[in-house]
Amino acid sequence: MHKDNSNAGGARTLAVPSGRGSRLARLGWMATGIAGGMMAEGARQLAQGNRPKVSELLLTPANVRRVADQLAKLRGAAMKVGQLISMDSGDLLPPALAEILARLRSDARAMPRAQVIGMLDANWGKGWSKQFRHFSFTPMAAASIGQVHRAQARDGREMAIKIQYPGVRESIDSDVDNVAALLRMSGLLPRQMDVKPLLRDAKRQLHDEADYLREGKYLKRYGELLADASDYALPQFHAELTTRSVLAMSLVGGVPVESLMQSPQSERDRVVGLLFALLLRELFEFRLVQTDPNFANYRYDADSGRLILLDFGATRPYKAALANEFKRLMQGAIAGDRALMAAADMAIGYFDESTQHKHREAIVDMGEQAFEPFSHQGEYDFGSTKLPARIHQAAMALGMEREFWQLPPADAMLLQRKFGGLYLLAIRLKARVNLNALAQVALASGRHRD
């Protein structure tokens, strides 16, 4: 077998600390570094005759970089919890913490070759290389949980092999707790924010995503559900080489979906339409939603015109009751029926009987804005919308209401994140799509397929 000995095409590599002790030590170093940075900044400010607040000393650029760098080195749960907090609550977080977490979404370094070999030896056995003509140790992609390598099997099949970082699964619970405690102690999380439900869901989601046998099952399931949809393509699942820590799939081509910014308007419109049509089928027909809105999960094959779907680790089943309440919420928004929206909001868990009237009205207002692209008659022009800024402003105003600080159920937050992620992609591509027409079809014909 030919092995690629190149260094990730110039990509940075960094060994992932796999033991609990070494991972906890990373967090300790970060806390020590933050304390040292605070002392130095405090001394500098006092020498200038200033009396800085503790929060000002915590949120210096140097400390922001220190937190982001250490969490990125841990990867796994430590990195993922930052991503989850930022995506679920980003509108309500201090700018410095938002900056830290934004960096975490984009900063993932590759495992060095020795760790890759160690993981494959542990999962496939020492003689695994005999199964391949070629295995590239240069990762095609690296993220918070694992990284993907290109390989060619002995029979000529081109494959993509996703390898989990060592120690990720075993350290999920302790990493999530430790990072949350550190962020809380540092003052970077608002004291009034109850993040326990969010952290509980982060653990659940991470355990799901760290089980590649589970992801393989959903990859196969989506292939079956979309067998009648020629506009979509998925990798083929290779069960014989898949374990809980290694996922084997066929290699797919295409280009990153966000690279279509210079493509013809009609092509961009069609791709975004396909994404939203799929999401509506997932929620109302399949009741199975791939909840991660990362742009990297989608590629586009211009030759066939097919949208390529990747990464099913964050796939989540939805109960009929919740799917039906979201259907009522969307119907109410499209019809301008605020009473119907309020009833659905309460059933979903956005507020309860004790919530003040003004806060209920604010949540219904936000729902109207969130579904604006679907209630708009005709093509919605994402290229000219200020919708994210308006939603951000409304969320900030609600977040300042100290009598109301209620996080909705995890399933609802994940759906919000998925819709929001597709909105951001549509805005980047300046797409014009008639989402109202898509919604009318989905709401009228949605049926559950077991």
pLDDT in tens, 278-315: 999 999 999 999 998 888 899 999 999 999 999 999 99
Give yes or no for a contact between 350 and 404, defined as CB atoms under 8 angstroms apart: no
Tell me the average pLDDT of the chain: 79
Give 450's pLDDT tier (boundaries 50, 70, 90): very low
- Asked if the structure places residue 446 within a domain, the reply is yes
Residue 28 is predicted with a pLDDT of 47
Give yes or no for a contact between 197 and 410, defined as CB atoms under 8 angstroms apart: yes
Residue 234 is predicted with a pLDDT of 97
Between residues 447 and 126, which one has the greater pLDDT? 126
Between residues 95 and 177, which one has the greater pLDDT? 177
Give yes or no: residues 187 and 284 share one domain: no
Q: Which residues are catalytic?
A: 292
- Asked if the structure places residue 118 within a domain, the reply is no
Give yes or no: residues 422 and 281 share one domain: yes
Residue 10 is predicted with a pLDDT of 43
- Asked if the structure places residue 418 within a domain, the reply is yes
Give yes or no: residues 187 and 318 share one domain: no
- Asked if the structure places residue 395 within a domain, the reply is yes
- Kindly tell me if the per-residue pLDDT of 132 is higher than 60: yes
Give 148's pLDDT tier (boundaries 50, 70, 90): very high
- Residue 23, both tokens: 């991972």
Give yes or no: residues 372 and 272 share one domain: yes
Give yes or no: residues 189 and 264 share one domain: no
Give yes or no: residues 185 and 284 share one domain: no
- Asked if the structure places residue 242 within a domain, the reply is no
Residue 262 is predicted with a pLDDT of 93
Query: Which of 145, 161, 193 lies at the terminal end of a domain, its last residue?
Result: 193
Q: Is the pTM of this model over 0.75?
A: yes
Per the structure, the complete domain to which residue 407 belongs is given by 254-450
Give yes or no: residues 263 and 174 share one domain: no
Residue 178 is predicted with a pLDDT of 72
Three state DSSP letters for the chain: CEEECCCHHHCCECCCCCCHHHHHHHHHHHHHHHHHHHHHHHHHHHHCCCCCCHHHHHCCHHHHHHHHHHHHHHCHHHHHHHHHHHHHHHHHCCHHHHHHHHHHHHCCCECCHHHHHHHHHHHHCCCHHHHEEEEECCCCEECCCEEEEEEEECCCCEEEEEEECCCHHHHHHHHHHHHHHHHHHHCCCCCCCCCHHHHHHHHHHHHHHCCHHHHHHHHHHHHHHCCCCCCEECCCECHHHCCCCEEEEECCCCEEHHHHHHCCHHHHHHHHHHHHHHHHHHHHHHCEEECCCCHHHEEEECCCCEEEECCCCCEEECCHHHHHHHHHHHHHHHHCCHHHHHHHHHHHCCCCCCCCHHHHHHHHHHHHHHCHHHHCCCCEECCCCCHHHHHHHHHHHHHCCCCCCCCCCHHHHHHHHHHHHHHHHHHHCCCEECHHHHHHHHHHHCCCCC
Give yes or no for a contact between 265 and 426, defined as CB atoms under 8 angstroms apart: no
- State what percent of residues in the chain have pLDDT above 70: 68
- Asked if the structure places residue 372 within a domain, the reply is yes
Give yes or no: residues 185 and 37 share one domain: yes
- Asked if the structure places residue 365 within a domain, the reply is yes
- Kindly tell me if the per-residue pLDDT of 380 is higher than 50: yes
Between residues 122 and 38, which one has the greater pLDDT? 122
Domain count within the chain: 2
Give yes or no: residues 180 and 294 share one domain: no
Contacts of 353 (CB under 8 A, 6+ apart): 346
Residue 29 is predicted with a pLDDT of 42
Query: Which of 141, 159, 193 lies at the terminal end of a domain, its last residue?
Result: 193
- Asked if the structure places residue 205 within a domain, the reply is no
Give yes or no for a contact between 162 and 65, defined as CB atoms under 8 angstroms apart: no
Give yes or no: residues 395 and 290 share one domain: yes
34-80 residue pLDDT tens: 444 444 444 444 455 554 444 444 455 565 556 656 565 555 555 55
Give yes or no: residues 185 and 315 share one domain: no
